[in-house]
Amino acid sequence: MNFKFAIAASAMMTFAGIFTLVGCGGDACTQAADHSTSCGVAAATTSGSTSATTVECTGLPLCSSTCINAAPCDQVKDLSSGMPTATSKPLLDCLTKCSATK
């Protein structure tokens, strides 16, 4: 696995993790999920869990959500495609900075 792929994979896991947060309320995390959905990116679902998990929208989730909220839809869709291209590089860079400063 090369270094660029590892960074991209880490950022994509962070991006996907935003959608598994339940209980963020009307904050940046919820806005990021709403923005991604409005861009045509389906929210991730978890199976087998019947209880809601409350996660504070602080730290890494807040930073990642801020990146997603600032990104245009073409970047959000490209990053969520599984094979990001140069289109989503600004979003990927932002998410990578969040992961590096956790």
Residues of the chain by 3-state class (helix, strand, coil), percent to 5: 60, 0, 35
Residues 6-54: tens digit of each pLDDT: 555 555 655 555 555 444 457 899 999 899 999 998 765 544 444 455 6
Residues 52-61: tens digit of each pLDDT: 556 788 999 9
Residues 53-102: tens digit of each pLDDT: 567 889 999 999 999 999 999 999 999 988 889 999 999 999 999 988 76
Contact criterion met (CB below 8 Å) for 102 and 59:
yes
93/56 Cα distance (integer angstroms):
23
Q: Answer whether 0.75 is exceeded by the pTM.
A: no
